[in-house]
Structure 1
Amino acid sequence: MMDSRENRGANRRKLARINTQMRVDIFRHRLIGGWRFVTRAKAMDYNRYGVGLTSPVSLSQGTRLKLDLYAPGMILRQVSAEVVSCHRAGQAYRIGLRTYSSLRELADDARQHQIRYLAGMEEQLFPQG
């Protein structure tokens, strides 16, 4: 029988991630001044549920962000995300982001969020060899 920690870990990743090397500009909302640029990072992998990236700055769990993702041939601007994990990885931080706020948002076809545009296009955007 799995304990609750093992059970949570087993459900952590809902869908396999697609490896990538996309530039990401990160923005955070400030009380005065609205959305402000925080840093430039590199997306290491993604799927329709989230993005894993490396960043030169640490971000607190629960922080709401906007991302500009620079994929080959397209730029996805103002993608909403929330920090779910942040761990030091050498001189940088490995950050896990969730790109939806509720399961209802994922199921709602009328409001498809932008990260879905990348899911299913990996063969065109990131050809193998």
Structure 2
Amino acid sequence: MEDKLPKIYSKKAILGFSIFLSTLFGGVLLYQNLIEANKKKEAYTVLGISILITICTAIIVNIPEKPVSALAYVCGFAGGALLSNYFVPKYFPNEEQYPKKAIWKPLIIGVIIVAVLVALAIYSLSAENG
């Protein structure tokens, strides 16, 4: 009898979090999927690639004199597409058969992180101008 399949985050969730937060965030979701499936070596590989893509994104976004935030979305889409269209099918060829995890927990964590970063940015600007 086949073991019960673990709950995982869907390809769409990984892609969405990669686009709107960062490839690192999408990579963490895929990392958690791989840990749940007892694929630790693959999990660390995906996490490392996600970190590299996120570093490259930060460099690319800040190359122009005035950083272009739209580039972050393009890079996030590219990184998310790599994660969801290459790594998910590679490690979860029958992904549609897995029960899906709800995205509320990572969504709340993402919103908190963004809120803290925005608050820090506002604070640093007001301290600079004050």
Q: TM-score, normalised by structure 2?
A: 0.26
* Higher helix residue share: 2
Max radius of gyration: which structure?
2
Q: Considering Cα pairs closer than 8 Å and 6+ residues apart, tell me whether 1 or 2 has the greater RCO.
A: 2
